[in-house]
Amino acid sequence: MDVARILLTPKHGLEKTDITQYALEELARSRVRNVFVVGRRGVLQASFTVKEVRELTSIEGVRMDTTLPDDLPDPKKLPRIQQRIVQLLKKAPFIPEREEKSCRIEFLLNPTQFVGENHVESVEFERQRLLEANNPSSKIEGTGETQSIKADMVFTSIGYTAVPVKGMDKLNIDVVRGIIPNDRGRVKTTSTKDFGYVEKDAAMTERVPGAYVSGWVKTGPTGVIASTMYSAFETGDSLVEDWNEGKEFLQTSAEVEKKGWQGFKEEVEKVGGKAVEWKGWKGIEEVENKRGELLGKEREKIVDIQEMVHIGTDTEDHRA
């Protein structure tokens, strides 16, 4: 959805944002005029957010078209999010006075192969059908019917799943459907075993002391940057609340020294890295804001990691 929105949005609609200048220049040269957003399941099963649909279907100069089934249930009978998405998609089809680009949203098409020599020329799909049409969690199955869409370029977005990191099994933390079980960011165990921090009988409902999670491994792959930020803020609030209330955190043996940030910094430097602290990050932000001011926008983001590290560490050296 983000890729489609950026490709369809006119340059003047992006140049005041913090998108980088080189990206703007490349988009200005873009010859993309027609964009298809294709989903394997139906509109009720789509994982995009209301905000994403609203932004995509209201871009200046873009002709919108959607294919919605005739047997959609009454929106009033749907969960709130699906209700709003269906309402937006029903209103979406329109032809602007000055049509510059077009966007078509298709559902129930499963990609089977890319067609073309040396570069893609089209994509072949198998049409799908829902096993439970009105169930937002419905599975799908192929119908055998095929459809082809011409394309010069294809972006895939075929799912995301989390992989347990080393040591998680020692805390009896299971990754369920790619998500670590949590309550407002506080990691919870799904095991009934006693792992040393809570009573055995309470393990199903207790937090794992000192373990917190944020991002898609907390919520699943959904939402835009803003919703991910608020999710991180929520996790941060939970951590602070637990600290202030004196809740139990991860324990170490008496022989193990707790080194905190300094220990982390030393480990980074051992492998040749440079740790950028808060004042260094503020220095990077200051440079980005100044560069953005010269271009008449909020900021011009630095995309070269080495340049960021140089500015960040140089700032710290000067402020020390």
- Binning pLDDT at 50, 70 and 90, where does residue 285 land? very high
**Could you tell me what percent of the chain has a pLDDT over 70?**
88
DSSP3 helix / strand / coil % (the chain, rounded to 5)? 35, 20, 45
Helix (H, G, I), strand (E, B) or coil at 108: coil
Q: Is 211 left (phi over 0), alpha (psi -120 to 50) or beta?
A: beta
Of residues 304 and 216, more confidence is placed in 304
Helix (H, G, I), strand (E, B) or coil at 113: strand
Which residues, other chains included, contact 237 with Cβ-Cβ below 8 Å and sequence gap of 6+? 184
DSSP state of 5: H
102 pLDDT exceeds 60? yes
Q: Which domains does the chain have, with CATH numbers?
A: 2-150 (3.50.50.60), 168-244 (no CATH), 268-319 (no CATH)
278 pLDDT exceeds 50? yes
Question: Which residues on neighbouring strands pair with residue 141, listed in sequence order?
Answer: 129
Chain position carrying tokens 């324990």: 251
Tell me the C-alpha distance between 312 and 270, whole Å. Answer: 19
pTM of the model: 0.74
Question: Which residues on neighbouring strands pair with residue 101, listed in sequence order?
Answer: 62
Of residues 192 and 246, more confidence is placed in 246
Quote the pLDDT of residue 304. 94
Quote the pLDDT of residue 309. 93
pLDDT digits (tens, 9 = 90+) for 25-37: 999 999 999 999 9
Quote the pLDDT of residue 204. 52
pLDDT digits (tens, 9 = 90+) for 200-255: 444 455 788 888 999 888 888 777 777 889 999 999 999 999 999 998 887 666 66
